[in-house]
A and B are shown apart, each in its own frame.
Chain A
Amino acid sequence: MELRPILSTLRRHKLTATLLVLQAALTCAIVCNVVFMIANRLQRISVPTGIAESELSVIPSASIEEGENPQARHAADLAALRGVRGVQSAVAVSYSLPLDRSESSSGICPSKQALDRAMQLNTIEGSGCMQPAVYDGTPGLVGTLGLHLVAGRDFRPEDYVSQGKPAVAIVSRALAQHLYPGKQALGQSMYDGDNYIRIVGIVDRFLRPNLRSPGVDEDSMIWPQLPPGSGVLYVLRTAPGDRARVLQEGSAELLKLNANRLISAARTQTYEEIRAAYFQRDTTMIGLLLASALGLLFVTALGITGLANFWVQQRTRSIGIRRAIGATRGDILRYFQTENFLIVGVGIALGMLLAFLLNAELMQHYELARLPLFYLPMGALVLWGLGQLAVLGPALRAAAVPPVVATRST
């Protein structure tokens, strides 16, 4: 294909071609960054929690009976809930579940020296101590949540305390590694202020209720403390198909047992709803980002088609002349395709530069990571493909112009 005629034609339409290049460049820059943001959000919302998400449901219950022993109330409630058809197991937790937002955390140190260092620095940062999320719960928590114990043992009945701090704990693998890098964590004693807590078990993965940063999101520990307050979350494990019914029957059962309690209907939900609520902003954002990326590509395709249409109409006579002096339909088709390839190509080159500038700006203001290089060739391919698709219609129309047009005057 001879490029010179194309270039000289484009020189005569400098302003229009420049605008098209500019549009392709902006689209390339924005779409590359938007797709990158979508990928980031997708990664964020697919974070694993380590629990059997599809089999869990929760009923929040807060007793308002005055002068009642809360732990006796929980035991009675749990007995009733286990009697509901379809409930495989049930436990009560007082603080939270992964991604349930309200979090109880505690400064935990691997050794006395680290604790002293933290006291001296007046912060746990840089002391070797960590701030894991702390989960409590009634016996059977590990099994009900479906946590995967990779070392050590589950709690024994004698481990549980109803008041004060327990002497043992199960930690997530991430916390074990962060507290005791390169060492065997099982059996170590962690310092929680003046108390020490022995690690008796390690679970594969257990996410925090509230995400902080990817490095510490899996730092959590469970200790065998029975929920002390009147407000608890009853966690029920059932087959996925039983969840809706069990939630309904379970709430009714609890109210039948003792009506003097508050059960928030809005928070009586499956675990999947808790998860969806946590990432709701991200899902909204993904939808919006996707819509704007598609919108941009659509508008750019419209622009290319519209402009190509004009140019074909404008050049009908010269196309006819070219046909008359021997150009084939394929030559004409390829002419318009190459022209589009060139324009979009210049746009892409400029767009890649803009993409990096935009990325740098976003990194500064919106905590976005650096755009990986492989997004650029992918963006280029998408834009080239889109350009070819958009120009195909007008180019085919151009190829269909009969040579006889050359003999007519406009």
Chain B
Amino acid sequence: MFGYYLDLALRSLKRNKVLTALMVLAIGLGIGASMTMITVLHVMTNDPLPGRSATLFTPHLDPLPLDYKHRSDGPDPTDNLTWPDAMALLEAHLATRQAAMAGGSLLVRPARADVRPFRVDGRYATADIFAMFGISFEHGQGWSAADDASRTHVVVLGETLDRKLFGNSGGIGQVVRLGEHDFRVIGVTADWQPQPMFHADLSAQSFGDADQFFLPLTAAVDLKLPTNGNQSGWGKDDAADSMTSANMSWLQFWVQLQSPGQVQAYRQFLLDYSAQQKALGRFQRPPTEAKLYSLMGWLAHRNLVPTDVRLQLWLALGFLFVCIVNIMALLLAKFLRRSGEISVRRALGARRRDIFLQLGIESAMVGVAGGLSGLLIAQLGLWSVRHRPDDYAQLAQMDTSMLLGTFALAVAASLLAGLLPTWRACRVPPALQLKAL
């Protein structure tokens, strides 16, 4: 029976080729536009570290004075930690792993004469960063907590930078000049490029290139290396060195917590720490301002998706909806025009269910064809998105789940569009139509 309905549907669709093509095109356009935007949104709200993100958290404190007024167009100083707070959390050592970090851009002066000096982006961090984020090493290893304490001038290079500086022989044990200082290479990591760069400061590019070097945060502070994130200061500062000031926030801090109990304990610790700082007179705001964000929670808080992209998504969905209404009207007209045929079938013993199945198959066929053309149109759309210079544009690719999703959306949309016309056609009273024949 199914085969027969398929055959009937094909015949019916063939009878009016132009109209069928128009219906397929309309649903294809709607699906294509929606899927392009959903894919862009999907890659922008991706989990940057699948499998690991659930155990990563970032603590936030509020050391701002009560009368501090936050400028609406400026960055929020409480997005980052101050040096004293970061060091206190580090020394408390309450999480399985914890690391403070900040981004920096340094000038590399290669020893090789054939490579001109250039700037690279990297990260100043404390020892746990590699194990905590699961950054894998190609050669060598990271530094130890002892190196952090003694501010050793060591560096871990990204694979790309290592190859650029030292060729195939690798740079382990060699010295690389970063800015005005020499660092000994102790490890080479595989290029580590989480998308989005959840661990970077808000003002830095969120969908960017991999960190090309890692060096001890303490050495960076010691040498006053430049950072490329946001540094928000407040109050009158009397500390000579602003990097270690208690009135300037610039550090990102991440902890790894394995169990809900540990998360609860850490949250309590942050409250206690804030209360203690308030008692000491350093903090002025209530301790409940202290927050512990999960990785995905932090990304949601940062709201990396530009409003334009959200608007585009709504627009595309609105477009899809109009397309569905359009198909609905066309299918309805088409099915009702065949009232005579339906009546004959009903009079010959077909049940409503049979008619429903027959017409349902016909609308599903339109949907499948529309889905296929929608897939093509979406690929075209994504291709054009990838040619935009926006930082997230390069990521706009469809994975298998999105491909299947597109298809499911297309079929669901056309079935939805076919539902009302099919139902209406089933209710055609056979006797009345037969009389008119």
Contacts and interface: CB of A to CB of B under 8 A. Distances in A.
A310 B326 contact: no
Contacts of A391: none
Interface in A304-321: 305-307, 309-311, 313-314
B310 to A, nearest CB: 8
B337 A27 contact: no
Contacts of A22: 325
Interface string B100-118: 0000000101000000011
Given A19-B325, A22-B325, A302-B26, A280 B424 contact: no
Interface string B401-437: 0000000000000000000100010000000000001
Interface stretch (B163-171, B328-336, B361-369): B328-336
B422 to A, nearest CB: 12
B389 interface: yes
Nearest to A66: B180
Given A64-B109, A288-B315, 19 more contacts: A16-B333, A16-B336, A23-B322, A30-B315, A122-B69, A123-B71, A280-B389, A280-B390, A289-B315, A292-B316, A298-B29, A299-B26, A302-B25, A302-B26, A303-B326, A306-B23, A306-B333, A310-B330, A367-B307
Given A22-B325, A285-B308, A292-B33, A309 B19 contact: yes
Contacts of B67: 122
Contacts of A302: 22, 25-26, 326
A328 B269 CA distance: 89
Chain A contact residues, majority secondary structure: helix
Interface in B96-152: 107, 109, 117-119
Contacts of A281: 306, 308, 390
Interface in A35-67: 64, 66
Contacts of A366: 307, 310-311
Contacts of B29: 295, 298-299
A13 B326 CA distance: 15
B117 A262 contact: yes
A277 interface: yes
A296 interface: yes
Interface residues of B, number: 48
A410 B341 CA distance: 13
Contact of A284 (B22, B322, B388): B388
A212 interface: yes
Given A280-B390, A310-B333, A64 B315 contact: no
Contacts of A311: 333
Nearest to B328: A19
Contacts of A270: none
Interface in A7-26: 13, 15-16, 19-20, 22-23, 26
Interface in A350-381: 362, 365-367
A123 B329 CA distance: 59
B161 to A, nearest CB: 16
Interface in A219-254: none
A114 interface: no
B173 to A, nearest CB: 26
B389 A23 contact: no
Contacts of B117: 64, 260, 262
B91 interface: no
Contact of B312 (A285, A307, A410): A285
Contacts of B71: 123
Contacts of B306: 281
Given A23-B322, A27-B322, A310 B118 contact: no
A307 B322 contact: no
A41 B279 CA distance: 51
Interface in A184-237: 212
Contacts of A362: 311
A405 interface: no
A289 B314 CA distance: 11
A26 B321 contact: yes
A355 B286 CA distance: 45
A296 B322 contact: yes
Nearest to A259: B116
A300 interface: yes
Q: Which 8 A-B pairs have the closest CB atoms?
A: A19-B329, A310-B333, A303-B326, A123-B69, A23-B325, A306-B330, A26-B322, A299-B26
B26 A16 contact: no
| Most interface-central of B107, B325, B437 (chain A CB within 10 A) | B325
A233 to B, nearest CB: 16
17 contacts: A15-B332, A15-B420, A16-B329, A16-B332, A22-B325, A23-B329, A26-B321, A30-B319, A66-B180, A262-B107, A262-B117, A288-B315, A292-B316, A295-B29, A300-B322, A306-B333, A309-B19
B297 interface: no
B329 A30 contact: no
A34 interface: yes
Contacts of B307: 365-367
A341 to B, nearest CB: 18
A280 B330 CA distance: 39
A295 B319 contact: yes
B73 interface: yes
